[in-house]
Structure 1
Amino acid sequence: MTTDSPIAQKKQLRDELRRKRKAHAAALPTEVSALVFNRPPAQLLALVPEEATVGLYRSDEGEAPSRAYIKFFFERGNRIALPRVTTLDKPMEFRLHTDPWEESDLESGVWGLRQPGLGAPVVVPDVLFMPLVGFTAKGDRLGQGGGYYDRYLAAHPQVVAIGMAWDIQEVPELPLEPHDMRLSAIVTPTRVLGPF
């Protein structure tokens, strides 16, 4: 790592990893991208109790796709929760998502991402799958930079936090700050790291 501040290092690393992530996802043939992250591996399922409320995210361009996991856990009988951000200065919350096929219960959010409406019940997930920009083999995570997931995990330390990523997002080390929360596990198309 350089002698720049952790904030400057993170920004530089985010820019580089976002480019790599986007190019990697775009280069995958349709047949391959339909298969990755289709069903959670057994090692990962061991971390998700059958009665758990499972928090997931609606994947954005380049992110590890989450939609098949949403449908899988819903069909398994788990309650599904998605993040909702109302304004940039308020904490993220999770609300129930009850229609993973038609997504009729979702609306456009702050960044244009689909999220549950205000009428959906607020819940705290038992297990939370989250996107990331970069990760280490020790479970460190580099997020988008808004701090939403770090603040959420700090407020809910009992939540099992699992990162979803492409293998190309792994780095040897990350410039960490005291508020950065470590993941419980990470899943990529080829492996599960953890639990840590």
Structure 2
Amino acid sequence: MGGSAYAREGMDVLTLGNDVDLPTEIAVGILPSAIVKVAELSQIIKKRKEAAAKIRATVQPLLAQLKRLNPQQREKATELMYEADRLDEEASALKKKQDEVLGPYSPSGEQEVCILVNKIVYRGVSLIFGDKITTITKARRGPVKFVSRVVERVESIIAIDTLSGSTQILPSQAYTPELPDTGDSLVSQGPTTDNAANSQAAQAATDTGKA
């Protein structure tokens, strides 16, 4: 039978796949969709931090020249510094959100995550370790263990013959799961606010220069 399955800590099975080439997809370790969500959050965090840093770089020199600022300019500069603090707080909250997203789908670390096939793994089975995927191109008799390890500084998916101990690095590529399009991607949230704050900071600097 084909289909898909996910196991956070790995799996120990008799067979994987089928002899009629029905698609079979097995994921272990960190859930791929969680990796995508964390990557999206990372982009937002980066934008928040960059926006906050840009505001401070623009406004702090103005605050060093308070005597040149009129009351309205002082108020505006103070508001922008509060905005920079808010952006930093949002970035910190999003970092915690990343931990919450990964938590339920991260292996315990007590043992190496692996896929152990005792009898046979059929051609066409796709094995996913985090953000890496490999597809078996030829049926392979077990017992064979599949793991993800760093080999010469490259994250690789490896097949290990558990009887002989021989290993083989399998061809793999980056994997990104197809997520349902809900129209509210995490990446789409926030840039407008960041850009507005940057524009206000730039305007404040311009106004001060005219004072």
TM-score over 0.5 for the pair: no
Higher strand share: 2
Which range, TM-score by smaller chain? under 0.3
Higher helix share: 2
Taking structure 2 as the reference length, what is the TM-score of the superposition?
A: 0.23
Taking structure 1 as the reference length, what is the TM-score of the superposition?
A: 0.24
**Greater Rg over alpha carbons, structure:** 2
Higher relative contact order (CA 8 A, sep 6+): 2
